[in-house]
Amino acid sequence: MKILRYIPILLLFICLSKVTCAQSHAKKDSLIDYILIKDQTERETKVTRYVKSFFQNAPLNQLIDKKKDVTNTFATFNFDNKSSMLYFMESIYQRRLNNLKESQKSLIKAIDEAHKSSDHFLLQQYFIHLAFLQTDEGNFIEALNSYDLAKQEIKKLNNPSLELILNVNISDVDYKSGLYSQSLSYLNQAQKILEENKINRPAISTIITYNKAENYFRTNNYDSLKTYHEKLFDPTYKSYKLYTYQKRTGYYLSLLKHDYKGAIKLINSLLKDSLYVKSDLEEQLLADAYLSNGQIDSAKYMVDKQLAQPSQINHPEIKYHLYEVLGEIAERKNDSKLAASSFKLALSQLKQNLNNLSQAGNKSSQLKVNEVQSLYYVNLLRYERERLWMIFAIVIAVLAVVVVAIFYRSSRQKRHYEQLLFAAKKQELATINSHEVRKHLSNILGLLDLVKDIETKEELLKIRKHLLYSAEELDKNVKNVSEKLSEKD
């Protein structure tokens, strides 16, 4: 009896175990489900997205085992461009380990494999990822080159959603290069594509709005920054970084209002906020706020901390600013030697930054020229199509006029012919009436008049014979008239 009491609990435990196993199996097999998708573009979209998300979210201490699992799953199936996607997986894996050079090598191999099959979808994905790596290294010129290559592949796919995302990515490189007007231009293009094609992507709308706010902050445009900061609170916007965007643009407003004390308080509270996605930008702006607020030691601590970070080594535009801040701090401390040394370092970084900006600007301008040329050719083709349609319409209109004219002329000629025919018939009937009908009628009347004076039977028979003949001829002519009247055209 005691055993029977535990049977329901045991059954419940078994059911829960099965559900857990099924959920675990479904999660494990999600990559398999994507690999088994028959549509190639859908399969490649799902698999590449899965690989990126999988390695970006996996704990660092589990990366090697996770990589083995994915590699083994790939080895189990045969599908198009498998080798290319394996190289892509290796690139994502190396990037997560911050091995940017190794990541680029694997990605270039993936691009070579995708080129063999002329897979435009994978090629644009790989070129965009290559641009991400080059941006991480601070190599904005090469990043713009990669985006240009991605744009060429997207044109072949004719996919507005991909073009939308590409414009957002290019705007990010222009922003980091200090080309704020160019960045805003690409964001406006992205917004136009979003609206014209009625693409429902709340996350992309959120990024466009936030990136515009970033550009307005850098150009000290307080009113526009405030407008886009308020837009970020629109309930239709969705992004896992939305909270971060709202808070960051909030302290941007404080900085532009020169409320440095308030900005320092906001930034320090955000650095402790677990919901806030932090970046190196906070520490750089915090250093500026400390300096502007007269907290020189705090500013120097933040600058030294940033200069010690290896992630900034290839970013001269940031190092130039940091060395400049160090120079200003040294000046305030009346340390002219340190100030001169810091400004000299800032100057060397500025030269490199200006060189990079010049090249990035040239490349960005070339991209714009290519876009204008492409738009020109598109408009030219559209004009040619419209011109052909106009010529076709004119030809159709002329033919229609000719046909109408022919029908009109034919109708007039028919009416004229009918009138002539009617006149001829009328004349013919008049002739028959005057010559034939009246002739025989007159004969009958004359013969009837002679009957009065007839005395012999022979004369009567003779007159009768003439009457019969005239009556028959009269009947024939009357029938002839009747037939003429009943004749159709």
**Residue 460 falls inside a structural domain:** yes
Predicted pLDDT of residue 406: 82
Q: At what angle do helices 296-307 and 316-332 cross, to 10 degrees?
A: 150
How far, rounded to the nearest angstrom, does the alpha carbon of residue 289 sit from its chain's CA centroid? 41
My answer on whether 251 and 334 are in the same domain is: no
- Decide which of 245, 278, 311 is a domain's last residue: 278
My answer on whether 270 and 332 are in the same domain is: no
**Residue 314 falls inside a structural domain:** yes
My answer on whether 480 and 409 are in the same domain is: yes
My answer on whether 357 and 415 are in the same domain is: no
My answer on whether 274 and 320 are in the same domain is: no
User: CA-CA distance, 285 to 318, in Å (whole number)?
Assistant: 11
**Residue 448 falls inside a structural domain:** yes
* Phi, psi angle pair for 233, to nearest 5°: -95, 5
What's the average pLDDT block by block, 10 residues per block, for the chain (489 residues)? 47 46 46 90 91 87 89 91 92 90 92 91 92 84 87 90 92 86 93 93 94 95 96 91 95 95 94 90 90 91 83 60 85 86 76 56 51 46 69 84 81 75 69 66 71 70 75 75 64
Helix (H, G, I), strand (E, B) or coil at 178: coil
* DSSP symbols for 51-99: HHHHHHHS-GGGHHHHHHHHHHHHHH---TTHHHHHHHHHHHHHHHTT-
- Decide which of 278, 308, 324 is a domain's last residue: 278
Structural domain for 432, as ranges: 393-486
User: CA-CA distance, 7 to 366, in Å (whole number)?
Assistant: 76
Number of structural domains (the chain) is 3
Predicted pLDDT of residue 467: 75
**Residue 381 falls inside a structural domain:** no
User: CA-CA distance, 143 to 130, in Å (whole number)?
Assistant: 7
Assess contact for 121 and 133: CB atoms under 8 A: no
Predicted pLDDT of residue 3: 45
**Residue 330 falls inside a structural domain:** yes
Predicted pLDDT of residue 373: 42
Interval 139-187: pLDDT, tens:
878 888 889 889 889 988 989 999 999 999 999 988 887 888 989 999 9
How far, rounded to the nearest angstrom, does the alpha carbon of residue 311 sit from its chain's CA centroid? 35
Report if pTM > 0.85. Answer: no
My answer on whether 400 and 475 are in the same domain is: yes
Assess contact for 266 and 288: CB atoms under 8 A: no
Classify residue 454 as exposed, middle or buried by CB count within 10 Å of its CB (0-12, 13-18, 19+): middle
My answer on whether 397 and 482 are in the same domain is: yes
My answer on whether 308 and 355 are in the same domain is: yes
Predicted pLDDT of residue 358: 54
Please report, in angstroms and rounded to a whole number, the separation of the first and last CA atoms in the chain: 114
Of 115, 207, 213, whose CA–CA distance to 156 is shortest? 115
**Residue 251 falls inside a structural domain:** yes
Assess contact for 161 and 169: CB atoms under 8 A: no
My answer on whether 350 and 405 are in the same domain is: no
* Phi, psi angle pair for 98, to nearest 5°: 65, 20
**Residue 475 falls inside a structural domain:** yes
My answer on whether 476 and 409 are in the same domain is: yes
Predicted pLDDT of residue 400: 85
**Residue 256 falls inside a structural domain:** yes
